[in-house]
Amino acid sequence: MGLAQRGSGRRTARPLRKTSPARPLPTLSGSPTPASTSGISDLDSGGHTDRLLQVIMDPEGLQLLLPSPTLAALANSWLQEDCPGLNFAALVTGSAPAQAALWAKSPGVLAGRPFFDAIFTQLSCQVSWFLPEGSKLVPVVKVAEVRGPAHHLLLGERVALNTLARCSGIASVAATAVEVARSTGWNGHVAGTRKTTPGFRLVEKYGLLVGGAAGHRYDLGGLIMVKDNHVVAAGSVDKAVRRARQAADFALKVEVECSSLKEALQAAEAGADLVLLDNFKPEELHPTAAALKAKFPSVAVEASGGVTLGNLPQFCGTHIDVISLGMLTQAAPALDFSLKLFAEGDTPVPYARRS
């Protein structure tokens, strides 16, 4: 669902389709609405495919992307990492039925409900959500309640909170990046990168989508990215791209990292679908992209390297189709959530009760 979509094996690529302007992030009053899903190309209106895409790319529909067996396997591995042996704290709590309230204590975008659910499903607990995926959080707010055996609630607590906090943090930064880019009038793709945490990529890529950004390629098999080291190993840009083009056949797109207009033109001539202008300053980026597009109008241009939320507007331009930011996954701060047990019949509060 990101940039690494399957394409043709032709020497020149179709340009990336422009996106519609983003909807503003909702505020949490009454029934919250999902956050923006900008960064996803629109199809022709009125068709079944268009309606289906809208459902899938809505934050509530994104859970359809996550296979249940994969969620279960991830949840099980996370729980085993946290408790590979004896759980002595279970003797403190016992196994009596209990309930806990999930509180959001910092602002941002709610993301990661499917992972939170999967963790507690492994522990025979039930989660009741009060806010939909993609909601804008205004603290302090009760997000959900979890019910199950006391020792199971506490066994899943930290793992579930860590996952939700990390995923929501990435969605929050992604949503901000999309909003910043759209404020300039630019309608290209704001995207993440492959700079993800080992073993946690699915959560982080999913968080990007909830925030309205594109995930880019999920792994090495999603798109052939020819980088500077590939060029050195192959001997030249032309040789590297032609080998990639042969390997890609009709099923994959080929993107080439370039550090100059000369390399970009060579890559496009050799058959690249996308050209990545890496570590260009904005004043160099735009004329280079314009010159490339003038000769190869169907080749898509991605800008990356040194892009932050602060300077993002400077990279937005007519000839730029994609702007990728590694900081969306590498530098996103986690949101603050807590899970607090409460007695049946009591009013849940976002802090521990002590008599």
Q: At which residue do the structure tokens 């009596």 appear?
A: 96
In angstroms, how far is CA 317 from the centroid of its own chain? 23
What is the C-alpha to C-alpha distance for residues 122 and 145, in angstroms, rounded to an integer? 16
DSSP for 51-75? Answer: HHHHHHHSTTGGGGGS-HHHHHHHH
> Residue 283 contacts by C-beta under 8 Å, 6 or more apart in sequence?
none
Question: What is the residue whose two structure tokens read 């806010």?
Answer: 131
Tell me the pairing of strands 254-258 and 274-278.
parallel
Full 3-state SS string of 163-230: HHHHHHHHHHHHHHHHHHHHCCCCCCEEECCCCCCCCCHHHHHHHHHHCCCECCCCCCCCCEEECHHH
How many CB atoms neighbour CB 26 within 10 A? 17
Q: Would you name the residues annotated as active-site residues?
A: 195
Q: What distance in Å separates the CA atoms of residue 34 and residue 42, rounded to the nearest whole number? A: 18
Distance, in Å, from the CA atom of 72 to the CA atom of 115, rounded to the nearest integer, reads 9
**Cβ partners under 8 Å of residue 352, min gap 6:** 340
Q: Parallel, antiparallel, or unpaired for β 254-258 and 224-226?
A: parallel
Measured distance CA(216)–CA(204) in Å, rounded: 12
